[in-house]
Structure 1
């Protein structure tokens, strides 16, 4: 099984008693028997294309003869990264056909056909087969081609690019690239049952494009490319993107139903969904039997290993299972349209039916979870914190020529008073059933209020005593406040 940016297999064959022209003649006959098409030929070899089917894309077959050795190679086309021995089978099929032709053709017939082939070649043109081997720069370009949409590999690179772009934007916005905070994930659209229960249903899909650290992103994107290069050519653009989005929602629904307070994010639920679609197709005869066995083994190992690894904790296995199960359902639902590609309306009907099924499933799951009132109550009561904070900061709006007694009143009877009111408000909010990240933020807000009170007390002394001896201490506290304010951004 070849794996690479463009999987390839090749073998070298000694010419023995044959001339280069005779070898090329027999090779050309062998290609004709295999029903492969030659789209370039010279005195030193040819470039051909293997036959294709609804499931298997074609390969480029290249024969190059140099001195007393011929090199036959088969290289994948169509954006494949894994060929599951397809290229090796092509080379073996060519060698078998070559041996058959060589055994059947007589010396006289070989001589006539060799001359005919020689006469048909344009020997004055530059030989494309003698162009230098691919450079390191070209190999790098080939790698980056994985991020460029192609005919049979269209939505996979778009999804990869979108996931990477969102991660970069999160990092630019201040998210830690190794472990972004819960609050940042929530702000960017992570899945969270209390927020889903109050109507933020869009989180069921937005969380599929967020990642909890760069390693999480890299592992998921590798898995997405792995399954995308295999599955997207089989499904086609519309079925593939529909499968990704619908299984992503299915994974999010499972996570929402299972977890009360877990913040969930990542493309892995949708990726497991694509593997579920693939597993469903592997139980049908849409893929040839020999290839199906190899794929079932490799895909099965991936699924079982990752589900087992998810049992360790810290991984949303509910989303993985939800994505896998919804993928199996979608895979079987799409099978009739894949069997009848000449009926495109069948595919449209299948996708529409799946969308309706997912809509009703979403309605059922959301209605089955208890409505979380605590965050709604929290949001309403927290509005007072903002109002009190604005009034407490009123001292900074006083004019420079304000009377001393007015400044002292604003600091003590309004500023310090309102900061203490906010501390009491935060204490009262602790009685609500709040998620951990909200409790952690409120704890930091209480520290912020206490720092403000310390600064105001020193400001009161400075004004009352008409002294500058507190300036350094006030500046130090203000630096702490400034640093804390940045952490809230």
Structure 2
């Protein structure tokens, strides 16, 4: 059993986080690596191509060794064409589960399909497809292998693809059993392929229709814009040491006040974004902090313009306390996530 796998070693680290506007992202997607946004926008062929691509030679070698083992077992029972279809079917579903589950990382590798083949084997071992004495020995070794290789806590591993492949493979295993043991010769010959295409088609269509399109790029743009405005406001109120009060007031009215208006608009935009849960919480905290921060600078402006160091001080102090409380709460939320 041979699967041709193309390796793009240089991208092993840099290609994993397209959310950082990585220059390798477009190259990787062009080569066939899977990416959530592109797949949900209709580039569904990436669900197939990524199963023949790997991030490093070590990634490739590890998968090929395992694929030769499980592939030879499955192919010997189902035939080369059914084996190829099953590899693709489970690989596509594994990739789709990864796209639906993950945020925006680039995905690639044969491991989802490999886990799918193990799922098929596991299903067949739970039927009378194999002799009883063979079933027990192979079932034990397969379960041990899967237990050792499915680690939901490891980093840099596409757990969603592994679980998606394993579960879909287990389901396909019963389709394989039904097809190979059917009395009708046409069902035996074409049943697995036809049934698999239907299952994959329905799953991919349903996944694309149900998976939300995350506004990750817009989130990063707003985040950068809000930080720039925050620096601008700090400079307007606390910078420019060698200027007159009149010049300061001019800067506040012509630079700071328009910036505060943009700042508030950004806060409102944060709340309208569709984001993964962790970024949704971050956007919520950023929105609240920006609104209080905007109020804080507005009060400082009024205090400076009216030359009244008493009137607005309580409200300014209260705004400062609220900003610190929100930042503290945000820090606790980040700690809980870790």
Q: CA deviation at 1:337?
A: 2.4
Give the distance between the partners of 1:346 and 1:212, measured in 2 at CA: 37
Q: Does 1:337 align with 2:179?
A: yes
Q: How does 1:71-470 map to 2 (within 5 A)?
A: 156=1, 158-159=2-3, 162-163=4-5, 166-167=6-7, 170=8, 175=10, 179=13, 181-182=15-16, 183=24, 184-308=27-151, 310-340=152-182, 343-372=185-214
1:467 maps to none
TM-score normalised per structure 1:
0.41
Give the distance between the partners of 2:186 and 2:149, measured in 1 at CA: 35
| Residue pair 1:246, 1:355 contacting (<8 A) in 2 also | yes
* Shift in CA distance, 341/208, structure 1 to aligned 2, threshold 3 Å: farther
Give the distance between the partners of 1:278 and 1:359, measured in 2 at CA: 23
Give the distance between the partners of 1:265 and 1:195, measured in 2 at CA: 14
| Residue pair 1:180, 1:212 contacting (<8 A) in 2 also | no
| Residue pair 2:120, 2:172 contacting (<8 A) in 1 also | yes
Give the distance between the partners of 2:29 and 2:192, measured in 1 at CA: 34
Output the aligned Cα RMSD. Answer: 2.8
Q: CA deviation at 1:375?
A: 6.1
- Three-state SS of the structure 1 residue aligned to 2:30 is helix
* Shift in CA distance, 265/335, structure 1 to aligned 2, threshold 3 Å: same
- Three-state SS of the structure 2 residue aligned to 1:254 is helix
Q: Which has the higher strand share?
A: 1
Q: CA deviation at 1:187?
A: 3.3
Alignment length (residue pairs): 217
Give the distance between the partners of 1:286 and 1:369, measured in 2 at CA: 37
User: Which one has more relative contact order, counting CA pairs under 8 Å at least 6 apart?
Assistant: 2
Deviations 1:257-276 (A, max 9, x none): 11122221110000000000
* Shift in CA distance, 336/216, structure 1 to aligned 2, threshold 3 Å: same
Deviates more, 1:349-358 or 1:271-280: 349-358
Q: CA deviation at 1:354?
A: 1.8
| Residue pair 1:248, 1:269 contacting (<8 A) in 2 also | yes
Give the distance between the partners of 2:183 and 2:147, measured in 1 at CA: 32
Give the distance between the partners of 2:56 and 2:103, measured in 1 at CA: 22
* Shift in CA distance, 181/261, structure 1 to aligned 2, threshold 3 Å: closer
TM-score normalised per structure 2:
0.58
Give the distance between the partners of 1:221 and 1:311, measured in 2 at CA: 23
* Shift in CA distance, 180/357, structure 1 to aligned 2, threshold 3 Å: same
* Shift in CA distance, 192/240, structure 1 to aligned 2, threshold 3 Å: same
2:294 maps to none
- Three-state SS of the structure 2 residue aligned to 1:311 is coil
Give the distance between the partners of 1:261 and 1:352, measured in 2 at CA: 32
Q: Which has the higher helix share?
A: 2
Give the distance between the partners of 2:187 and 2:147, measured in 1 at CA: 35
1:64 maps to none
Q: CA deviation at 1:284?
A: 0.9
Give the distance between the partners of 2:274 and 2:213, measured in 1 at CA: 12
Unaligned runs of 5+ in 2: 17-23, 221-269, 276-338
| Residue pair 2:212, 2:274 contacting (<8 A) in 1 also | no
Give the distance between the partners of 1:247 and 1:195, measured in 2 at CA: 20
Deviations 1:123-164 (A, max 9, x none): xxxxxxxxxxxxxxxxxxxxxxxxxxxxxxxxx2x31xx11x
